[in-house]
Amino acid sequence: MTGEITWPKARDYFTRAMRLRCPVCGSTPIFPPLSRTRSLSDWFTPLDGCPRCGYAYDREPGYFLLSVWAINYGVAALLGLFLYLVFEWFYEWPVWNLIAAVVVPVVVFNILFARHSKSIFIAWDHLFDPHEREGGDDGGNMPQGNAPAPTRPPSRARLPVDAGV
Ligand SMILES: [Zn+2]
């Protein structure tokens, strides 16, 4: 799926990311539904791939490091800086009140924004480095034509050794 990067395409991908939807088909969610979210791990972990179009969300180990360090922490740092400047400018609070008023909302924001930072990263990556199947079955993750979507990306496929367990 090579193609030029255009503003409409970037806008579509960003809109899908903000709705936590697959960047390719835009219809299926990237994360499990809230009704199936039982732990923080469920909250933070995206599905293996899109059940509709087969696009793999988690391409390789460490894939989401940049989404956490750059997008999630970066936006939260800007939020914290903004809150600090507003509180410092308009209120004369003791320093511990000021710290609490900045740190608590930033931590809550980090947790709530974690899903969006990952979906934004997936959309960003798909915009600038779209993957396509390169023949064979060893690394591509986009279905060809009407091929059925893989249930798991190749990186998480079971090894033959696990077959008897
Ligand atoms: Zn999809």
CA of 53 to the centre of ligand 1 (A): 4
Distance (Å) from CA 75 to ligand 1 centroid? 26
Q: Are 127 and 4 a contacting pair, CB within 8 Å?
A: no
- Give the pLDDT of residue 4: 85
Give 15 Cα–ligand 1 centroid separation in angstroms.
14
* Alpha-carbon gap, residue 131 to 64, rounded angstroms: 16
Assigned domain for 31 exists: yes
What is the CA(150)–ligand 1 centre distance, in A?
A: 12
> Rounded to 5 degrees, what angle do the CA atoms 3, 142, 128 make?
35
- Give a yes or no: residue 2 inside a domain: no
Distance 149 CA to ligand 1 centre (A): 10
Single-letter code of the amino acid located at 46: P
CB 56 within 8 A of CB 87: no
In a domain, 159, yes or no: no
**Domain around 19:** 12-151
The mean of the pLDDT values for the chain is 84
User: Can you tell me the distance from the alpha carbon of 80 to that of 74, in angstroms, rounded to the nearest whole number?
Assistant: 10
How many angstroms does the Cα of residue 67 sit away from the middle of ligand 1? 20
Q: 152-164, pLDDT tens digit by residue? A: 444 444 444 444 4
Separation between Cα atoms, residue 30 and residue 103, nearest integer Å: 29
Question: Ligand 1 center to residue 72 CA distance, Å?
Answer: 23
Structural domain total, the chain: 1
* Domain membership flag for residue 163: no
Q: Mean pLDDT over residues 141-155, rounded?
A: 47
pLDDT of residue 3: 73
**Which pLDDT value is given to residue 140?**
46
Average pLDDT of span 131-140:
53
Q: Are 133 and 141 in contact (CB under 8 A)?
A: yes
Kindly state whether residue 39 falls inside one of the protein's structural domains: yes
Q: Are 22 and 44 in contact (CB under 8 A)?
A: no
Q: What amino acid occupies position 76? A: A
Ligand 1 centroid to Cα of residue 123, in Å, is 11
Is 3 contained in some domain?
A: no
> Is pLDDT at 65 greater than 90 in this prediction?
yes
In a domain, 160, yes or no: no
pLDDT score at 79:
97
pLDDT in tens, 7-40: 999 999 999 999 999 999 999 999 999 999 999 9
Is 116 part of a structural domain of the chain? Answer: yes
